[in-house]
Structure 1
Amino acid sequence: MSGNRTLLWDLDAAGGSAFLFDLEPTGSRLAEDVFSKEESPERLIQHTTIDGIDVLPADESLRALDTKLIQIGKRKRLAKLTAQLATDYDRIILDCPPVMNEVSAQVVRAADLVIVPLPPSPLSSRAFDLVVREIAGNTRKHPPILPVLSMLDLRRGLHREVLKEHPNWPAIPYASVVEQSAVRQQPVGAFAPQSPAAKQFALLWNAIERKLAERRK
């Protein structure tokens, strides 16, 4: 993470982000209470075994977060929370499900950059355009959007064609070490730092940093 203090905030009730770091929600405090009861998010943060990376885990209470945010009526609640956390972190990554609802709308309002994973198919461009239009239609001013090809298999002709069509899009390969990340519950860079997949993740992070630098100009 380029030496930055980084917080990964999991807003997906499935809790995949925390699982990948071998973490689970602890105690009786619910992730949804951060929004509905103004529970301090700092009290839910957990440290990982990776230096400089912390996680704010999700739990089942987030399944109703979309409805709860609409009831609360605070359209910038997440933006205020991330601004509060930014005093302790250089980068805050908000991981949310790939659907357009009040949760994702608040993510867009809070974000400096939106990262959109896409399958390497002939419909990738169309899917990306739809996402851009959907985001633009829900917010008057939205942050830059970075498309990322996911599970790219260069053995497949269609995948090669998509990469040729979008050579500047970061691409994460379909690789066994990426699958092993879930088995080992560690980032690829922690157990296979010299693998092609780890190098592609590094290139993705460089692309993210460039986009953020451009936004600050």
Structure 2
Amino acid sequence: MATIAIYSVKGGVGKTTFAVNLAWCAATISRRETLLWDLDASNGSGFLLGVDPKKKRSAESVFAADRAPKKLIQETGFPNLDLLPADETIRTLGRQLGRIGKKKRLARLTQALSKDYDRIVFDCPPVLNEVSAQVMRAADLVIVPLPPSPLSTRAFEQVAEEVRGSGKSHPPILPVLSMMDMRRNLHKEAREANPKWPVVPLASAIEQCAVTREPVGAFAPRSPGTRAFAQLWTAIERKLASRKK
């Protein structure tokens, strides 16, 4: 089992879109039993997967000692892909984790799910608090979407600092240039400065995910966006494999 965190301290970078599409790639391309764990109170992952939230909202309860995550996991309409949805109760999760005082609570919960899942993808909130610290302790790899802009560069530096602060055995970081439009000079410069980083283009099909409430590969299998996420997923699997050696 391996855990992949999609993380940024800056909103609006495509984080949830990345999480949903990469989880779909894990389940569909690699055919791995996959759990997408939404830690962002907006429940964007559930929306993009067409999973409506249950009436009883208790996402934070899985972090309590008496509640197993399995009880809140929902099936999606896609084979091998389940969702642990978020809701507004986890807005105070950082404080709750602080009260519990267990710095590896998320890591232990994740490990308990390893019997059922080969890949767990975290859709992380754009925060720097105990939640992000716990994610770094639980993750095997951190994916950072970066639209080309000075603010994104600053956000990446903050993420790198947060990851390094999680300890000597911190997870590796894979930055990804997102929403790339090579007609723009700033985007060309970003690509030239980071030629080895994976790229996900600015594509209308990817934007349609919020309309169709499906991963792009499910409704536009031949689109550039689908190819980009598939290539990114291949890079992720290689990164995970090299880390285990």
What is the TM-score with the length of structure 2 in the denominator?
0.84
Q: Return the offset for 1:97.
A: 1.2
Amino acid at match of 2:159: V
Give the alignment's Cα RMSD to 1 decimal: 1.5
Paired position in structure 2 for 1:153: 181
Which of 75, 79, 98 is matched with 2:107 structurally? 79
Which of 65, 69, 84 is matched with 1:56 structurally? 84
Determine the C-alpha separation between the residues in 2 that align with 1:35 and 1:122: 36
Which of 129, 148, 169 is matched with 1:141 structurally? 169
- Give runs of aligned pairs for residues 1-217 of structure 1, distance below 5 A: 1=26, 2-28=30-56, 30-121=58-149, 124-217=152-245
Aligned length: 217
Q: Which secondary structure state, in structure 1, belongs to the residue aligned with residue 214 of structure 2?
A: coil
Amino acid at match of 1:67: R
Paired position in structure 1 for 2:16: none
Q: Return the offset for 1:141.
A: 2.5
The answer to whether the 8 A contact 1:44-1:57 is kept is: yes
Q: Return the offset for 1:118.
A: 1.1
List alignment gaps of at least 5 residues for structure 2: 1-25
Determine the C-alpha separation between the residues in 2 that align with 1:169 and 1:6: 25
The answer to whether the 8 A contact 2:38-2:45 is kept is: yes
- When residues 126 and 63 of structure 1 are mapped into structure 2, their CA distance, relative to the original with a 3 A threshold, is closer
Q: Which secondary structure state, in structure 2, belongs to the residue aligned with residue 93 of structure 1?
A: strand
Paired position in structure 1 for 2:13: none
Q: Which secondary structure state, in structure 1, belongs to the residue aligned with residue 228 of structure 2?
A: helix
Q: Return the offset for 1:171.
A: 1.4
Q: Which secondary structure state, in structure 1, belongs to the residue aligned with residue 82 of structure 2?
A: strand
Q: Return the offset for 1:191.
A: 0.4
The answer to whether the 8 A contact 1:4-1:91 is kept is: yes
Determine the C-alpha separation between the residues in 1 that align with 2:128 and 2:146: 15
What is the TM-score with the length of structure 1 in the denominator?
0.95
Amino acid at match of 2:97: L
The answer to whether the 8 A contact 1:120-1:159 is kept is: yes
Deviations along 1:99-126, one digit per CA (max 9) or x if unpaired, are: 2210111111011101111121256555
Percent identity, aligned pairs only, is 60
The answer to whether the 8 A contact 1:34-1:41 is kept is: yes
